[in-house]
A and B are shown apart, each in its own frame.
Chain A
Amino acid sequence: MPFDIALITRIVPALAEGLTLTLTLSALAIVLAAAWAIPVVLGLMSRFRPLSILTRGYIEAVRNTPVLVQMYFIFFGSAMAGFRLSGFTAGLIALVLQNGAYIAEIYRAGIQSVSRRQMEAGLAIGLTPGAAFRIVVLPQALRKVIPPLGNQGIVIIKDTALVATLSVAELTFQARMLADRTAAVYEIFFALALFYIAITSIFSALMRLVEWRMRVVQ
């Protein structure tokens, strides 16, 4: 199995051309999904039955279909509907819709895991339900959701690779272009894997820092 280390030093800059797009897409998807999940979880936990059922339907629809199919749906569908979206945008929307649903579930689990008794304690000292939620429950829930959010972030980073199939010139796309042109396939995909491992490792380390700062680990 031929393996040329020197070749890798030439491959890395070529791949790195896709790095910005991967990082941008990842960051945008993470932030937007976390934001989109807020109205979703509110809808999910709403007392207005039609809304909660609708939200539940959206979550189940998105969780039981592959994100790739969702991307194709949005990408090709938008072209057909007349307002052709770029591969980047279509991919971003699909990632946000898919992961927003998962993150909404994470929020829900976090909120419900803060014991009902905490809420009652807040009410007992005279806080309104809204204030009790904001002051007592939410800060505790926030600490609990950070670790699963970190995991979801890694899922998002890895799923950005899928937009390569929509001709977005991110990391995986660059690797594929290189592989089609040269014979150094081992080195190319080895370097590509290293890129992703580096990105996810740095992200994980950042999340652990956030956890430590918020004193999640007790």
Chain B
Amino acid sequence: MSIDSVTAALAPVEIDIRGLSKWFGAHQVLKEMSTEVRLGEAVVVIGPSGSGKTTFLRCINLLEQFEQGEIRIGGEAMGYLVDPQTGRRTRRTERDIARMRAQVGMVFQSFNLFPHMTALKNVALGPVRVNGMRRDEAEALAASLLARVGLADKVDAVPGQLSGGQQQRVAIARALAMRPKAILLDEVTSALDPELVGEVLDVMRQLVQDGMTMVIVTHEMAFARAFAHKVLFMADGELIEHGPPAQLFGDPKTARLQAFLKRFKEGYQL
């Protein structure tokens, strides 16, 4: 790891989450989650299926609404403003929400690349349409980002011509093109054939080492153990344990985490 843990503790808080709660009807899927993501930190969220990890991630850029709690990105309140005196919640304007979404990149499990555009145009679309960049500048930026993720020779390919791993790397470049404050990655390797997972994890490792602020939901425990600065363990919508990976993986405190890790360690033992 290249970030000094002392420096990490002094870095400003980029994403601040307080008391986040969400209900689907009568069922509470997120229970008062609170955590911080500092500048340059890579936070990995692990947990069993149905624990709410993806829902939690999607609240950060408001692809999911939440009923209680606050999310601040770079100090600014995301999605809802709470009047300090009356406690009344109002949803922010679509304009503000869109502006803040542009500051937080997201990479999806199912890539969601735009099938009718080349890789280059996929990546350049955001800078042109949202950041008002000139088309030639944006395309130059897109080309350099695609080179950074190892796809310099695929700039003119359409998604249909790319493998899953390549598509996901284009998706990462697309998120980077917006120069976001942080990137959210939602199980980005889960839909890939095993032999393609490595190329995507390589790009992610590079991002961590370049100091990108990231929140990663994943099942790739080895990656989390090696490269995360902080790990969050969720189950049933709650934050059960959190801390540096050495502590969570090496010395799990709660029974639930111990049981979860045991299942991973056991895996396929013939």
Verify whether A and B have any Cβ pair under 8 Å.
no
* Interface residues, chain B, with chain A CB atoms under 8 Å away: none
* Interface residues, chain A, with chain B CB atoms under 8 Å away: none
